Chains A and B, each alone.
Chain A
Amino acid sequence: MTSTNIRRSPARFSIPKLTYRVWKVWHRNFDVFMKTIKVNFLPSLLEPILYLLAFGYGLGGFIQNIGGQPYINFIAPALVAIAVMNGAFFECTFGSFVRMYYQKTFDAIVATPVSVEEVVAGELLWGATRATINATIVLIVIAVFRLITSPLFLLVPLIAFFGGLMFASIAMCFTALAPDIDFFNYPSFLFVTPMLFLSGTFFPLTSLPSAAQATAMAVLPLTHIVNIARGVVAGHTEAILGLNPQMLLPISIAWIVLVTIFFFIVSINLMKKRLTG
């Protein structure tokens, strides 16, 4: 009798097996979003307008052109990138944590044919979707302000989705490790806020020493989204580390792809460990 015992292999780390059911989890979050759509739109609409007024027109009046363009044109693509980061990061930290910990939504879903991995992947895709929605709203705002100068801007939703998936995956790792919701103060203030200012958003990275430029390129995900956003919205990029756009954009795209794949897999594994012990 005991010879039939199968010790479940702990399989601590594995490539998640996902099916179309991922979209059912996504759909649940989408349904909730649609229910409260007006409240959801307001902050993402208001924030870029405030940034453009305060920094673009207000502060920008005292600042000389950057790379031949007015300051407000310099920061506009960065606002798109910031919306990607904030949309995905906060959805998959606070949002996912509330669903997991307080609402027990994940517990309810995993009693159905949807697996834990699919629940987490659905949350990540939803985080990416929130990033896309937020970035698109910002895009519309900067279009109204006539700050789009390249037809490539049509690529923004695609970039926002994959950039969003990267931030969602990183955020989900914090969620998997968070003992309580206050824990998110650490990644918010030690990771997101510094990135907000140090990723070539409000001043050119090229004004920093090359060691700082290299560090931003190596460890700050937002830097790469800003690079690409600037490429497609303004039609040119900063020459970070002396790289021209033909060099910089492929590097940023490759960086995002690799980091996204890595954290997508790691976050699902960490969450699975947290949820099933």
Chain B
Amino acid sequence: MGSQEVLIEAQQLTKKFDDFTAVDHIDFKVYKGECVGFLGPNGAGKTTTVRMMYCFLPPTSGELTLAGLSVNKQCREIKSIVGVAPQEENLDPDFTVTKNLTVYARYFDIPKDEALKRANEQLKFFQLEEKREVPIAALSTGMKRRLIFARALLNQPQILLLDEPTTGLDPQARHLAWDEVRNLKKQQVTIILTTHYMDEAAVLCDRILIMDRGKIIEEGKPAELVRKHIGEEVLEVDYDEKLLPTLKEAFPDARFERLGDRMQIFTDKPHGVFEGFLKEHSMQNVTIRTANLEDVFLKLTGRGLREE
């Protein structure tokens, strides 16, 4: 969990590309040792926000500080204490796996021997040891993502920016990445994570910021957000008009949502209320599940598809 020391702070942070406002006057704080998830549909402004954090993009207006250093003035200092795993694969195709890490370490002024030592440690942890002398083109997508993650840790960053670190990973590799995130949290590394996987955010993040159309529309702890917006349990059944009055009578406070030929009923009553109801009524294709972050996400950002 985070302390009370603010490590990242944005004030009225804005980024415009020509007439498109990607990030629109947002304010947020991240405390030391926290893992904060930025969630949002495509084009919400998550990646743009992350890119401003490591001075890849200059803000159009507003202030953004990391460890008290301003992205408007102290980029060099910021970049030396930040580790970045970008969304886009930008490993150096002209080098082998190990050389990718040692050349990258050189940009941080890490001495050669130390760089090789750190590279080997990372390759071991991310289970890439056997690929040491392999060119980048010969790696699978998952291996590339792991190498990008490993590369982000070479400068032993105080702040780690993970932009969709597990997209394209198989479950094994994803759990490996999660382990490393937990590991780093123990070492008080402050982590910013963007992801489209709600389970990932719920598992890893102390706090969630949900963005939509350049604004932060909600923030809080994952469990609190679920309780606040959704409740405890969700009943999913095939949509049936005849059944609707019965259900509405049984659960007058619940929220009903229809999705094609399925229907979801959200309740904030304690676990078990749906089970009691089901004992007395027989229904087709019933699922009872715990409310989750994805429900919150869809409720707040809607179900319409976003085009970039």
Give the B-binding residues of A (Cβ under 8 A).
1-2, 4-8, 21, 24, 27-28, 31-32, 35, 103-105, 107-115, 276-277
Chain A residue nearest to B91 (CB atoms) is: A108
Q: Of A6, A27, A112, which is in contact with the most chain B CB atoms at under 10 Å from its CB?
A: A112
Q: A111–B54 Cα gap in the complex (Å)?
A: 6
Mark B55-72 against chain A: 1 for CB-CB distance below 8 A, else 0: 111111111000000101
Asked if residues B108 and A31 are in contact (CB atoms below 8 Å), the reply is: no
A4-B11, A107-B56 known; A112-B61 Cβ under 8 A: no
A189 to B208, CA, bound (A): 55
Contacts of B89 in A (CB 8 A): 104
> What is the interface residue range for chain B against chain A?
35 or more
Task: Choose, from B28-36, B93-101, B213-221, B294-302, the stretch at the interface.
Answer: B93-101
The CA-CA distance from A7 to B15 in the complex, in Å, is 11
Assess whether B63 is in contact with A31, with CB atoms less than 8 Å apart.
Answer: no
B63 touching A8, Cβ below 8 Å: no
* Smallest Cβ-Cβ distance to B25: which chain A residue: A2
Is B6 an interface residue when CB atoms closer than 8 A count as contact? no
Contact A108–B104 (Cβ < 8 Å):
yes
Tell me whether A5 and B62 are in contact (CB under 8 A): yes
Assess whether A113 is in contact with B76, with CB atoms less than 8 Å apart.
yes
For residue A40, give the distance in angstroms from its CB to the closest CB of chain B: 13
B108 with A103: CB separation less than 8 A: no
Chain B residues 248-283 with CB under 8 Å of chain A are none
- Is B84 an interface position by the 8 A CB rule? yes
Q: Check B107–A109 contact: CB distance below 8 A.
A: yes
**Which residues of B sit under 8 angstroms from A32, Cβ to Cβ?**
94-95
- With beta carbons under 8 angstroms apart, the residue of A6, A21, A103, A277 that contacts B107 is A21
Q: Are A276 and B58 in contact (CB under 8 A)?
A: yes
Residues of B within 8 A of A27 (CB): 106
Beyond contacts A8-B58, A28-B106: 13 other A-B pairs, Cβ-Cβ < 8 A, are: A1-B12, A5-B12, A7-B60, A103-B94, A104-B89, A108-B104, A111-B79, A112-B80, A112-B155, A114-B107, A115-B75, A276-B57, A277-B57
Tell whether, in the assembled complex, residue B63 and residue A6 are in contact, meaning their CB atoms are under 8 Å apart.
Answer: yes
CB neighbours (8 Å) of A107 from chain B are: 56, 86, 88, 90
B235 within 8 A of A: no
Cβ contacts under 8 Å, A277 to chain B: 17, 57-58
Bound-state CA distance A187–B308 (Å) is: 34
CA distance A27 to B12 in the complex (A): 40
Residues of B within 8 A of A (CB): 11-12, 17, 54-63, 70, 72, 75-76, 79-80, 82, 84, 86, 88-95, 99, 103-104, 106-109, 155
Complex: A8 Cα to B108 Cα, angstroms: 26
Complex Cα gap A32–B55 (Å): 27
Can you list 28 residue pairs at the A/B interface with Cβ under 8 Å? A2-B12, A4-B63, A5-B11, A5-B62, A6-B61, A6-B63, A6-B70, A6-B72, A7-B60, A8-B60, A8-B61, A24-B106, A32-B95, A103-B93, A103-B94, A104-B89, A105-B92, A107-B88, A108-B90, A109-B107, A110-B55, A110-B56, A112-B80, A112-B104, A112-B107, A113-B108, A114-B107, A277-B17
A245 to B241, CA, bound (A): 99
Question: Which of B60, B79, B93 has a CB less than 8 Å from the CB of A112?
Answer: B79
Chain B, Cβ-Cβ closest to A27: B106
Task: Knowing A5-B11, A7-B61, A107-B56 are in contact, say whether A31-B90 is a contact too (CB < 8 A).
Answer: no
How many Å from the CB of B26 to the closest CB on chain A? 13
List of B residues within 8 angstroms of A1 by Cβ = 11-12
Residues of B within 8 A of A35 (CB): 94-95
- Among residues of A, the one whose C-beta sits closest to the C-beta of B154 is A112
| Cα A105 to Cα B76 with chains together (Å) | 18
> Which of B56, B72, B76 contacts A8 (CB under 8 A)?
B72
**Cβ B61 vs Cβ A5 within 8 A:** yes
Most chain B C-beta atoms within 10 Å of own C-beta, residue among A5, A7, A32: A5
- B88 pairs with A8, CB closer than 8 A: no
Contact B99 A31 (CB under 8 A): yes
Find the A residue at minimum CB distance from B102: A31
Residue from A28, A103, A113 within 8 A of B103 (CB atoms): A28
